[in-house]
Structure 1
Amino acid sequence: MNTVVPRFHGKLTKWNTDRGFGFVVADQGGQELFVHVSAFPREGRSPVIGESLSFELELDKEGRKRAVRVRRPGDPQPRASRHPRQGTTEGARRRAPERAGSGSFGSVLIALLLAAGVGWFGYSRYTERVEAMPTASQSLVSPAQTAAPEIASPAFQCDGRKHCSQMSSCSEAKLFLQNCPGMEMDGDHDGIPCEQQLCSGPFGGG
């Protein structure tokens, strides 16, 4: 963005032709300002004391104000220098490869992201298939092994038998005596049933 530099108006009050400088007094404030011959247009006319001028202000190395870019009334405005345009063109040429490089880098980055997404999707599908497949140990089990249930022994039940005459062995009489209430097979209550019929012997075995 170009900044508009203010211009001031005044008159040339002093001029030293041999040394190439003089002083101009601004209409606003009446301050006397230094002006050098290089600030005037290069048209061949020498500065004349008392002539009206317009100018811009700058600070010299010592911080003092001086008149620069002097113009006379009726002078055409100076044409813009072509160098900035050339510099702009060169800058555009320099930026063009940079933009092209950044664009190619962006394309590569997008391609990498797409490849990563496709790879991740394929890996997810592969994992699902592997999890759905039976393991080797499961596939080696024969149908007979998987189908054959365990044969459970029949559970003991109290069927109402209470007397020794109803028992088939001493072990069966002991089982009924230990698990079923109201048994009438242990008259002396020593824990050995049917001592006369089934569980004879010194240890009650039979």
Structure 2
Amino acid sequence: MFQEGRIKSYITERGFGFISIQGESKDLFFHIKDFPNQSVEPKIGENLKFRIVEDNGKLKADQIVRLDLKQNIAALEAHPQQSSYRNKSTSPRFNERSPKGSIFKIVGLIIIAILAVMVYYKYQDYRQVQQLKAQQLMQQQAQIVEQQRKALGDLPDRVLSEQGQRHLDNTSSQLSRVEVINGAANTQAQVTTAQFSCDGREHCSQMYSYEEAVFFIKNCPNTKMDGDHDGIPCEDQFGRH
């Protein structure tokens, strides 16, 4: 026959406790292994239904039914949608207006903004480096063309023999290649000049190349880059003495 009682004490570390039964002066022993649901720890004051059996000469509770736990499960089964809604509405993780959620959102936006600024400045630095490299390459090409012109312009006049004729033919071929290089350099200079425009800059410190400075003093008003008026701007900055 089943009886009812209430948990009076429970020792978690040892897994047993005692049940007080109304009308009985002696408490009844129970062990956690006799509970149907051992994952939920017994609580003091919890109502139980059980049978009293003898084990090794001592009485204990057996076939334990957890009345309070059974009632809670029945209530959840009767109103599953209401219970689910209550858990979601009261849970902090679903509360979009909680202070923690707002803080995380603000911190995330700040981090995204910082990363965007860093990427922008990195891109600007990259563009400046590429522009400087292009200007240096054009200057080097101009110097090479000038050196080749000087070397080929110093050829002596002499009577052409058969060997001299071959030498002249080779020289003509070299001159043709120089003209091609010179034409490419002029084309590049025209393209570069087309990229310049009068935008209000007046000083040498604002120039990125000698060609740009020459363009400004020839085409833009109020420039202050040719103090001696010799047509060579920014001599010290670009080594044009």
The two structures share one fold, judged by TM-score above 0.5: no
Query: Which structure has the highest helix share of the two?
Result: 2
The TM-score with structure 2 as length reference comes to: 0.27
The TM-score with structure 1 as length reference comes to: 0.32
Pick 1 or 2: higher relative contact order, CA cutoff 8 A, min separation 6. 1
**Larger Rg belongs to:** 1
